Amino acid sequence: MIGVFDSGSGGLTILEALHRRMPEQDFLYLGDHANAPYGHRSNERIVELTREGVETLFKAGCSLVILACNTAAAVALRTLQQKWLPRAYPGRRILGVLVPMVEAITGVPWSQEHPGESAAKPTGKTILLFATQKTVNSGAYLEEVAKRAPNIRLVQKACPGLVDAIEGAAGARPLKGLIEGYVQEALEDAGSKPDAALLGCTHFPLARPYFESALPMGMELLSQPNVVATSLEGYLKRHPEFAHKGTGRVRLLTTGKPGDVNLSDSYLPPHLCEFEGPPAKAV
């Protein structure tokens, strides 16, 4: 069984893409709604909450967990992989959504940190990155893209309040207004027309139509769910020990109260709509 962890409901965009691409896999989703959002929390607290969520999924029978939260992946993934996982669960794996996106942006495999190692160097371009304040402050995307493709200019734009608006089903008008403001500011920061844009928070694809209408017509908007699904599919082919075929069952857990998970029907895929919970806390 494959686990998917998110600070709230944004990771459902990743889960839906994974389930669609690999319908034979069993998935267990855990949304930490009781502590969402993560964007305003300290790095230490984000690491702690992410570890607790991952451990809950491990104890429920998952051998592989996807951090479907850019903030958790940017702040906590490396620490958990290097300092906690080898000691606590040496046979398990934790993957994040940041790595596949960096590969998609640069065209350079994660194992190659320097474009000089590749015969085909990525062409210079400007890409807008919309993310939470914590993801922007971490500098993770800037650092990893610069290692592999220093001629790519990444213009970051933090979008404070947008996760709260999406989680709270704020409605079309408030979301549209917020997103139009952030897009306009990002375009001004870029100075010239960017080549593409990236939604660097798994909540943001839930409001993708508003980004598409606010961005210049014809601009490519990279789809994080599809990129992550493609990446995981490749990973499971390379590591078949984690590709346990099941019945295609999908379960949703929340650390909060299921009835308090407020999502608009227009955002959530219809077959992923009922949460259970809260799960037993890992000890």
Q: Is 128 helix (H, G, I), strand (E, B) or coil?
A: strand
| 180's tokens | 């139009």
Q: Is residue 120 part of a domain?
A: yes
Residue that terminates a domain, selected from 170, 205, 224: 224
Catalytic residue among 62, 69, 159, 273: 69
* Among 43, 50, 46, 71, CA closest to 3: 50
Q: What is the pLDDT of residues 199-214, one digit of tens each?
A: 999 889 889 999 999 9
Tell me whether residue 69 is one of the annotated catalytic residues: yes
> Do 231 and 92 fall within a single domain?
yes
Segment 127-183, tens digit of pLDDT: 999 999 999 999 999 999 998 899 999 999 999 999 888 877 778 898 999 999 999
208 and 171 within one domain: yes
With the CA atoms of 99, 105, 111 and 114 taken in that order, what torsion angle do they form, in degrees rounded to the nearest 10? -140
Where does the pLDDT of residue 124 fall: very low under 50, low under 70, confident under 90, or very high at 90 and above?
A: confident
36 and 93 share a domain?
A: yes
pLDDT at position 112, please?
62
Sheet containing strand 196-199, edge to edge, reads 152-158, 125-131, 196-199, 220-222
Q: Which residue in the list 62, 159, 201, 273 is annotated as catalytic? A: 201
Distances (CA, A) of 275 to 126, 145, 168, 258: 39, 36, 16, 5
Q: What's the rounded Cα separation, in Å, for the pair 178 and 145?
A: 27
Number of domains making up the chain: 2
**What pLDDT, on a 0 to 100 scale, did the predictor assign at position 202?**
87
Residues 15, 152 within the same domain: no
User: Per-residue pLDDT tens for 70-100?
Assistant: 999 999 999 999 999 999 999 999 999 999 9
At residue 281, φ and ψ (nearest 5 deg) are -75, 135
CATH at 220: 3.40.50.1860
Residue span of the structural domain in which 149 resides: 99-224
Per the domain annotation, does 31 fall within a domain? Answer: yes
Please report whether residue 47 resides in a domain.
Answer: yes
Q: How far apart are CA 217 and CA 204, in angstroms?
A: 19
Verify whether residue 273 is a known catalytic residue: no
pLDDT in tens, 269-282: 555 557 787 776 65
Q: Return the sign of the alpha-carbon dihedral for residues 254, 255, 258, 264.
A: negative
Across the range 230-249, mean pLDDT stands at 91
209 with 157, same domain: the answer is yes
Q: Is 261 exposed, middle or buried (0-12, 13-18, 19+ CB in 10 A)?
A: buried
Q: Return the sign of the alpha-carbon dihedral for residues 107, 154, 69, 250.
A: negative
Element containing residue 154 per DSSP (H, E): strand 152-158
- Give me the chain's average pLDDT, please: 88
- Same domain? For 44 and 71 the reply is yes
The CA distance from 95 to 78, in Å, is: 10
Q: What is the pTM of this model?
A: 0.86
